[in-house]
Amino acid sequence: MPFYVAPEQQMKDKADYARKGIARGRSAVVLQYEGGILMVADNMSRTLHKISELYDRIGFAAVGRYPEFENLRLMGVRFADVRGYQYDRRDVSGRQLANIYAQTLGTVFSESLKPWEVEIVVAEVGDTSDEDEIYRITFDGSIVDEQGFVAVGGSSEHVSNVLKDRFAAEASLSAALNAATHALARENGEERELEASNLEVAILERARQHRKFRRIHGRRLTRLIEEGKANGRTASGGEASEGEASGTATADEADE
């Protein structure tokens, strides 16, 4: 006689399983900066990307099991390219992609025995910062429209709490990168030093022609990291920097 397991229990078990799987890996953050959207992931590999391009204005960031989110990435690229070829390049939107991902993950979660241990972000850069869109899609297919910044991964709550204090939509690229690495370095409550070789960084650059997605690595990345650190220090002289950063944020808002 087969065991009876209550649906609630089944879902809970699957969710716990997925959460545990995701928590084993490192986090990623996606946030706005003055020139577009910045995507940063803690990733040792230079070839197995956690961040990639989906379409002209749309980027993809993921954490969890590589083969599973890689599958989702390929699906997104195919979907976007077919859509763009069928209609027009402008007719491919981040919202469509986020929906497809949500539906796919939702179906996998409810129908198959093993849920996918992934959490992904779809970000679309608009003509102005008001039109930027950032969606977070979790393993069970829930979709959240995030404002300004988002962290995904095992300890995303912790990371996003740290990021919240330093986030400013009008920050320069180096300042935004500094905020992002600061938050990533404090995941799981620990405090690490993240170097260029640990980071995978890409931007969706608003002012760029055609395809907005660009990876930042090598010397440029090292320079940006140093610039961000130097500015963080001069702005405030050490630990008081957080108060200073939120001060500039309000000033920027007032300007708008």
CA 247, CA 236: separation in Å to the nearest integer?
Answer: 11
Closest contact distance (angstroms) between CB of 31 and another protein is 23
Q: Measuring CA to CA, how many Å separate 89 from each of 81, 118, 128? A: 8, 28, 18
Position 45 contacts another protein (CB under 8 A): no
Main-chain dihedrals φ then ψ at residue 29, nearest 5 degrees? -130, 150
The site for another protein, by CB under 8 A, has a size of: 25
Position 148 contacts another protein (CB under 8 A): no
Binding another protein (rule: CB under 8 A), the pick from 32, 52, 156, 174 is 52
Question: Smaller CB distance to another protein: residue 56 or 187?
Answer: 56
Comparing CA positions, the residue from 160, 165, 149, 178 lying closest to residue 249 is 165
Q: 149 near 177, Cβ under 8 Å? A: no
Closest contact distance (angstroms) between CB of 173 and another protein is 21
Residue 247: which region, alpha, beta or left (left: phi > 0; alpha: psi -120 to 50)?
Answer: alpha
CA 116, CA 48: separation in Å to the nearest integer?
Answer: 18
Question: Smaller CB distance to another protein: residue 166 or 212?
Answer: 212
Position 42 contacts another protein (CB under 8 A): no
Question: Smaller CB distance to another protein: residue 164 or 211?
Answer: 211
CA 252, CA 141: separation in Å to the nearest integer?
Answer: 35
Closest contact distance (angstroms) between CB of 80 and another protein is 9
Binding mask 98-137 for another protein (x = CB under 8 A): -xx--xx-xx------------------------------
Position 196 contacts another protein (CB under 8 A): no
Question: Smaller CB distance to another protein: residue 73 or 186?
Answer: 73
Position 214 contacts another protein (CB under 8 A): no
Residue 44 burial (10 A CB sphere; 0-12, 13-18, 19+)? exposed
Position 172 contacts another protein (CB under 8 A): no
Position 85 contacts another protein (CB under 8 A): yes
Binding site for another protein (CB under 8 A): 47, 49, 52-54, 71, 74-75, 77-79, 81-86, 99-100, 103-104, 106-107, 210-211
